[in-house]
């Protein structure tokens, strides 16, 4: 008896520890932790869904195995037969509704956080998706062009390189600041997808999608088109480089100088 209560305590301790350590060591259940505040909110929602799923699965499988063991055939004995059980029916109708209600609530809260756009973002980047590449044009807080535009070569080639290769365009953004992305497509439907940010959004011709990123980690993250858009879809790669705000300012002025010297547009 003492032994079993000890092992129960150990299990509870392990589970509690896993939840407390959630920030760094807990399993991610296949998702990215999210290198932006928005992406991390998505990650927390995902973990909540998986834990809820595990809990439901444990109850369902537990009841199945309990019923299999408890009511297995013993000679000619037949379990008690009954037609209805009102309390049981109320429980199995209301419990799923409550579970769905809770999951729905957290989904709406998270979506509102992810879709929220700041009234005064630190940087604005217009992203144009086209067959088969990306153009990133930088604007300041007043939505005035900073004269910096980055895009891939007009002639697509089968490069078959990782997305972080310098052959593909790179979106440079500062860490810890709110970056507004203004997303459009020049031709067909594309998808702006950054796995490490747990974020994907359609790039649509004639429709402007606007969203904010607040990067929390310095690094280079791969990005890709997530909608099949034709022959060189697989080459529609890019990367996102998150740098310190000081390094970002330096990068912008460096680009401005280079692009002014080469005659403005590139």
Q: For residue 35, give the nearest of 215, 163, 193, 180 by alpha carbon.
A: 215
Q: How far apart are CA 160 and CA 213, in angstroms?
A: 28
Total residues contacting Cu ion by CB under 5 A comes to: 4
Position 237 contacts Cu ion (CB under 5 A)? no
Candidate segments 4-12, 21-29, 220-228, 250-258, binder of Cu ion by CB under 5 A: 220-228
Q: How far is the CB of 216 from Cu ion (least distance, A)?
A: 27
Residues 167-206, one symbol each (x = binds Cu ion by CB under 5 A, - = not), give -----------------------x----------------
The conformation of residue 175, written as its DSSP 8-state character, comes to T
93 CB burial (10 A radius; 0-12, 13-18, 19+):
exposed
Alpha-carbon distances of 152 from 3, 26, 57, 58, 221, rounded to whole Å = 66, 39, 48, 50, 17
Give Cβ neighbours of residue 210 (< 8 Å, ≥ 6 apart).
117, 180, 181, 182, 183
**Residue of the chain from 125, 229, 237, 242 that contacts Cu ion (CB under 5 A):** 229
CB 201, min distance to Cu ion, A? 13
Of 18-26, 59-67, 79-87, 230-238, the segment contacting Cu ion by CB under 5 A is: 230-238
Provide DSSP, 7-60: HHHHHHHHHHHHHHGGGTTS--TTS---SBHHHHHHHHHHHHHHHHHHHHHHHH
**Per CB under 5 A, which region of 41-49, 62-70, 112-120, 221-229 contacts Cu ion?**
221-229
- Within a 10 A sphere around the Cβ of 67, how many other Cβ atoms? 11
Give the residue with the Cβ less far from Cu ion, 34 or 169.
Answer: 169
Whichever of 27 and 230 has its CB closer to Cu ion, that residue is 230
150 part of the interface to Cu ion, by CB under 5 A: no
236 touches Cu ion by CB under 5 A: yes
Cβ distance to Cu ion smaller for residue 240 or 243: 240
Closer CB to Cu ion, residue 105 or residue 228?
228
Where along the sequence are the contacts to Cu ion (CB under 5 A)?
190, 225, 229, 236
């Amino acid at each position: 008896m003492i032994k079993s209560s000890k092992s129960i305590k150990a299990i509870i301790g392990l589970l509690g520890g896993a939840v407390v350590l959630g920030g760094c060591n807990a399993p991610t259940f296949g998702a990215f932790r999210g290198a932006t505040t928005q992406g991390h909110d998505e990650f927390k929602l995902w973990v909540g869904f998986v834990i809820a799923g595990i809990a439901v699965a444990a109850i369902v499988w537990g009841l199945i195995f309990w019923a299999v063991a408890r009511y297995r055939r013993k000679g000619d004995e037949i379990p008690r037969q009954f037609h209805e059980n009102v309390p049981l029916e109320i429980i199995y109708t209301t419990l799923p509704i409550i579970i769905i209600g809770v999951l729905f609530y957290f989904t709406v809260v998270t979506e509102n956080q992810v879709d929220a756009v700041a009234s005064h973002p630190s940087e604005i980047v217009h992203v144009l998706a086209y067959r088969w590449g990306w153009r990133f044009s930088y604007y300041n807080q007043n939505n005035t062009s900073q004269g910096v535009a980055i895009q891939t070569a007009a002639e697509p080639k089968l490069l078959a390189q990782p997305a972080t290769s310098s052959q593909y365009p790179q979106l440079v953004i500062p860490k810890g600041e709110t970056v507004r992305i203004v997303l459009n497509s020049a031709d067909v439907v594309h998808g702006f997808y950054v796995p490490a940010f747990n974020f994907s959004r359609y790039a649509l011709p004639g429709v402007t999608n606007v969203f904010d990123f607040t990067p929390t980690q310095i690094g280079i993250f791969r990005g890709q088109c997530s909608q099949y858009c034709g022959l060189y879809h697989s080459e529609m790669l890019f990367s996102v480089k998150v740098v310190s705000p000081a390094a970002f300012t330096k990068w912008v002025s460096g680009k401005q100088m280079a692009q002014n010297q080469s005659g403005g547009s590139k």
